[in-house]
A and B are shown apart, each in its own frame.
Chain A
């Protein structure tokens, strides 16, 4: 029976779809503390595509790779609850301030350490940075083919994957050789629910750092239940060139950030009078909402 080695890229993101009145600090930065941290929605669509391949080829292995702060270990637990086999948290201060290129470089270097990979499946886009750039850039860093906007994996054969792509004004069916990076659209099927048995089993899955915080004896736990170990890699676990990491390795710099959320939803009440409508249009142009 054929088996595939699949890596799912998943990012923990603030839930920008439910931005309330206190989501922005006075200085215009995001108040991450009040926004729930969630599994990036399209990464769940990506995970589902991976799980479907595993349904068909049960010997396949799915590992989740996430780069982020320590609490992003939640992403791996969530993946385990839904059927992934394991995961790696890539976490280090050296990655802070990465743009998509530095992010892709770090993720690419981690992937290079993961042995022979058949498929890397990412979400199309993360809902915080909103760029959809990391998938294609990871592919380029690894010298792999990328296939974006996947809605459905139609067929996996020995060496090829056939997919349906959903483009902005049409659909395309393409047959692509492995290994490759796929990015999956939100229009793909939703991810299956957590499995109750798997929750029972994996709710104790931890990174070393988490266990140290909880004062647990991790050697004992990992010896007894090796599958509860969430691997944690820092910059020292992968080969990197420091000039390509974090802020230094990021060609793009954020010069300024403006908050465009109106304070609360206290509506501005205006009449149809000319001056009031003009004032509103000027405000909308200034805030780059229009224009």
Chain B
């Protein structure tokens, strides 16, 4: 049975969070399909990445190590992945829906004429019956993703072409080491066989990467706190909720001004504009300047002690109650009901 494959992104010798999350998901899918989990790491000075990657339950890790392969460039990375996929013929290939994965994935999929589903929020194995051909497909990858600005959820399948390729954003899947002592093998690729000199046509003149970043803008779920959250302790609850849901914490200006949150998190007219699929407004009254930065969210939950708070008029769910009481319950019932 051909394998599930994960492309691992590496920066400064560290495997990206999104890749670790995909390895965890890949392992689950491989178990279900009773096949191997394989991974590829492309870059420079990769001696130590095996120790980071194998424990996720990776059976074979391919390494392409060459000075010229870091930082990421489209053509050489594409050549390696395309040629390796032609040899190994994986049935599923996963990449981060990151600046790298969304540059590489479509190029690879075009070269292999295999479908690619962008930005999946859920990946499950399932069967499919095709009426027109009266044909049954077993064990396809259901690639579930929002589209139309988060207003619809589509389940996409690739019945006939392989690999079935999907990208997933950071924070969507959970990461979990399978076994620190997992026995997987490492295969070093002969890079010259996979790339040609013509692949190195781009000259990277300058590069600035920030290590840890607050990315409220890109988060699919934003838990935002206002003045009504009241204290730093209560604000901690918002971080807990954001963490379990895979979201980020935002804030109103009143919360920022009173020191409850950093300025980089301020949402509104004089802050950032967000359009997540879910916005949870905690102790925020919903003044027009705040709404300017969040009212295009696909769904809004308002938690406010005041049943007449202006935010309620644009909310899908209005919870009349105290933040300190409601949030722990949301965490509890999310954990209880999600798999």
A residues lining the B interface (CB < 8 Å): 14, 16-19, 23-24, 28, 30, 99-101, 104, 127-137, 139-141, 145-149, 162, 165, 167-177, 250-262, 265, 267-272, 274, 277-278, 280-282, 284-285, 287-291
Contacts and interface: CB of A to CB of B under 8 A. Distances in A.
Given A16-B148, A267-B312, A269-B320, A258 B74 contact: no
Interface stretch (B42-50, B85-93, B110-118, B262-270): B110-118
B96 to A, nearest CB: 10
B107 A137 contact: yes
Greatest chain B CB density within 10 A among A140, A282, A284 is at A284
Contacts of A135: 106
Interface stretch (B20-28, B53-61, B207-215): B207-215
A131 B167 CA distance: 10
Given A169-B210, A285-B338, A127 B149 contact: yes
The interface residues of chain A, by DSSP majority, are classed as: mixed
A281 to B, nearest CB: 4
A170 B210 contact: yes
B158 A252 contact: yes
Contact of A272 (B115, B299, B329): B329
Contacts of A104: 110
The 7 closest A-B CB pairs, nearest first, are A272-B321, A251-B115, A16-B149, A252-B115, A170-B209, A131-B118, A140-B110
B65 interface: no
Greatest chain A CB density within 10 A among B142, B153, B313 is at B153
6 contacts: A19-B148, A130-B148, A131-B119, A172-B208, A254-B154, A288-B121
A169 B147 contact: no
A257 B152 CA distance: 7
B329 A277 contact: yes
B148 A14 contact: yes
Nearest to B204: A174
A284 B221 CA distance: 12
Contacts of A133: 102, 105-106, 109, 116, 118
A290 B278 contact: yes
A272 B315 contact: no
B337 interface: yes
B316 A132 contact: no
B201 A145 contact: yes
Contact of B156 (A132, A171, A175, A253): A253
B71 interface: yes
Interface in B292-339: 296, 298-299, 301-302, 307, 312-322, 325-326, 329-330, 333-334, 336-339
B35 interface: no
Nearest to A168: B99
B128 interface: yes
A270 B319 contact: yes
Greatest chain B CB density within 10 A among A128, A134, A135, A260 is at A260
Contacts of B158: 251-253
B75 interface: yes
B245 interface: yes
Contact of A268 (B113, B121, B317): B317
Interface in B197-246: 201-211, 213, 215, 218, 221, 245-246
B322 A272 contact: yes
B278 A176 contact: no
A160 B145 CA distance: 37
B146 interface: yes
Nearest to B326: A272
A174 B326 CA distance: 49
A175 B205 contact: yes
B274 interface: no
B258 interface: no
B149 A290 contact: no
A22 to B, nearest CB: 12
A260 B223 CA distance: 19
Nearest to B18: A168
A23 B206 contact: no
B144 interface: yes
A252 B334 CA distance: 32
Contacts of B271: none
A177 B201 contact: yes
Contacts of B210: 169-170
A132 B152 CA distance: 17
Contacts of A18: 296
Given A133-B106, A169-B209, A255 B160 contact: no
Contacts of A281: 330, 333-334, 337
B107 A136 contact: yes
B218 A168 contact: yes
Contacts of A277: 319, 326, 329-330, 333
